[in-house]
Copies of this chain bind each other. A is one copy, B any other.
Amino acid sequence: MSKTPSSDPIHARTRESLILAAGAVFAEQGFRAATVRDICKSAGANVAAVNYHFRDKAGLYRAVWQYSHHCALRKYPLQHGASEDAKPQDKLRAYISSFLLRIFDKGEIAWFGKLISREMIEPTPVLEALVKEEIQPQLIYLSGIVRCILGPKATDIQVQRSAMSVVSQCVFYHHCGPVIRHLLPHLTFSKSQIEELADHIYKFSLAAMKGLGK
């Protein structure tokens, strides 16, 4: 029985730098392609450090997820800066904008988006927890907004599908990045371009839902 190394906050330097280095490498290369030697080198740690601090490579991956999830959630909370009693349309606009800003964020927050993209193609056990704790609540929040816009006559399935239509437009540019970069090289995803994109998705979706409601 050995004490969990992580419980000692003073000697956490190696542990922390491993997480930071691993975040960058996992995001760029994926879980499988990333090597612990690469990560350790980038963290300035010994090869055995991963096994000592995280048991194995998968343990390090879980730690990175936890950290990256924590960062993303703190910077972009669920409410997206829209007040509780705002109009549904304004909430939708805020939701789309916040969604895009988050997945196109640079730096450590971006890991989160990239890791999610990879989970879609090569799911790990981490995905199930992510869906329950993050994606499901997000979708419920969005569905509430969509329901208000569609009106009382809308069925549950119409709400669900319309919410998916909104999300799909947001996810698309990030998830299909390599193709988009070939297809529309002028798109650099600067802050202003993201805002223009958000505006289009908002207007497109709003018009769609208003049309469907009739």
Instruction: Given A30-B122, A211-B211, answer yes or no on A128-B204 (Cβ-Cβ < 8 Å).
Output: no
Q: Which of A153-177 contact B (CB under 8 A)?
A: 158, 160-162, 164-165, 167-169, 171-173, 175-177
**Complex: how many Å from CA A203 to CA B161?**
11
Q: Are B120 and A179 in contact (CB under 8 A)?
A: yes
* A73: chain B residues within 8 A (beta carbon): none
Q: What 5 pairs across the A-B complex have the smallest Cβ distances?
A: A207-B211, A168-B172, A208-B208, A131-B182, A123-B178
Q: Which of A190-214 contact B (CB under 8 A)?
A: 197, 200-201, 203-212
Q: List 8 A-B contacts (CB under 8 A).
A: A117-B121, A119-B179, A161-B204, A167-B172, A171-B175, A203-B212, A204-B208, A207-B207
CB distance from A178 to the nearest CB of B (A): 4
Q: Which of A20-55 contact B (CB under 8 A)?
A: 30, 32-33
Interface flag for A127 (CB, 8 Å):
yes
* A178: chain B residues within 8 A (beta carbon): 119-120, 123, 127
* A33: chain B residues within 8 A (beta carbon): 32, 122
**Complex: how many Å from CA A115 to CA B189?**
26
Q: Which residue of B lies closest to A119 (CB)?
A: B178
**Complex: how many Å from CA A121 to CA B178?**
8
Interface flag for A136 (CB, 8 Å):
yes
Q: Are A183 and B119 in contact (CB under 8 A)?
A: no
**Complex: how many Å from CA A158 to CA B197?**
11
Interface flag for A12 (CB, 8 Å):
no
Interface flag for A1 (CB, 8 Å):
no
* A30: chain B residues within 8 A (beta carbon): 121-122
Q: Are A176 and B171 in contact (CB under 8 A)?
A: yes
